[in-house]
Each structure stands twice: as structure tokens, then as C-alpha cells.
Amino acid sequence: MSENVESGPAPEKMSAARELWEVVKTIVYALAIALVLRVIFFQPFTIPSASMEPNLYEGDYIIVSKFTYGWSRHSIPFSPPIFHGRIFEHPAHRGDIVVFKLPRDGHTDYVKRVIGVAGDRVQMKDGLLYVNDKLIQREPLSPVREDIGFGVVRDVARFEEKLDSGKTYTTQDFGPDNPLDNTGVYVVPEGYYFMMGDNRDNSLDSRVPPADDGVGYVPAENLVGKAQIILLSWKPQASIFKPWTWVLDARPSRFFKILH
């Protein structure tokens, strides 16, 4: 009488299992590479508000370099509290456009411009910016017409602001008598930065303390990275579920725009 001999899995099943395993490995490797790139090198962000106009518009997709200031726990998704401080830290400079975690919750991403570094004295007087008791020079540019809704259109003043370092950038202003146009003196503590939006009268920034739902001083640890380039841009009404808006509401003049 012959005995039954186990011949093992069918070749077809083994081949399918190997193919599945290869697919799983490819996905895992791709995700690992994407995570490394996101944590160490670059991360994309979408601009959700008008606080940085006229340099960043709602609907801009920007790329932020993670390595410019070194790395902190906020460089990692979900900001796990696995260490404190920064590794290979490099300071941010006045005029840098920076993405950072909102100090009062440690999770919300904000984008503003660095105006004050440790030891600086920052103040607004009649809509003019003073750093270390020195007026930051600005030159008027051509105003723009802006529709603010409900059929109301107004002129928005724009200025080229110039820091002592020689760095220049454009700001916009609705006038010298808005709530944040006259402030006390802010003295930036060691290890912190003072941030402001370029849209000076429409920005919740370091001029407003956390107790009033503002930003306050931003710890160096909270910096995520430096905004380097606008990769792509669409008007706010564009929708991923409306393919025709991908073309009709695109802003190609803003594609691949280097940020200053």
C-alpha cells in the first residue's frame, strides 16, 4: 500500500504569497523613505489664511526646509515628547518666514515672519514698526483694491520694509489706527522669537498674548522650519472634488515662487 506524501503548497499559491510580500515591502519602504524626507529634509504646508499677504495667499502650497534650524520634537509628526530642545540648532534670523507650532497648544501650525530675536525690543507706534527703538524703514508701493465682502471695496496700502541686515519684503496695511498699531514694548526673552504677519492689520501674532488667544513669544523649540518656496497655488474656492477648478482656479504666476 502506498503512503500519501505531503507535496507542500502549490506553486501558484507560493508565487502569489511572494508577490504580496513584495508589494507590502515596497509600501513599507516607500512610507519609511517619505517619513525620513518629511522629518529631516522638507515638508509641505497649505496656507489657510490671509495673515501673510501679500507674500503668502490662502491656497498657496509651500515647501518648508526642516534642516535650516536643526530638529526638535516638532520636526516629527504629532510632536511626540521624546526629547527637548533642538539638535544641530541654527538660529532663525530677522526677516525669515517660519512655520512653527503655536505655543499655547503645541500642535497648530502657524506661519509668520521673524521680527524679533532674543534681547530685541519690539514696538508698534502709529502703525510703524520699531526694533530696538529704531524705526524700520519702509517705502510706499502702489496700493491695491480689495473686496472685503458685502459689496465693500477699499484701498490697501503696501510698503517695502527694509531691515538693518538689508533684507526687504512687502507688507500691507489698512491704516495707522487699528487695534495692533500701537503697542507697548515687547522684550524678547532668551530662547524665544517675536513673530508678525506681513498683513499687519489682519494677523494674530506675537503682539497678542496667549491669554487672549494670540501667539505671544515663540520658543525656539517650536520652530518647524523655514518657508522656502511656493510650489503651487490655487484660489480658495478650488476643490479636489471639482476637477475643473484645478485649472480654472489655479494661480500659475505663483508656481515655484522663491520666498524672501
**Active-site residue list:** 51, 112
CB 213 within 8 A of CB 199: no
Beta-carbon contacts of residue 129 (< 8 Å; ≥ 6 apart) = 115, 122, 123, 135, 136, 138, 161, 196
Phi, psi of 41 (to 5 degrees): -110, -70
From 207, 208, 143, 133, select the one nearest 170 (Cα to Cα): 143
Distances (CA, A) of 154 to 145, 173, 175: 6, 11, 11
The answer to whether the peptide bond before residue 54 is cis (omega within 30 degrees of 0) is: yes
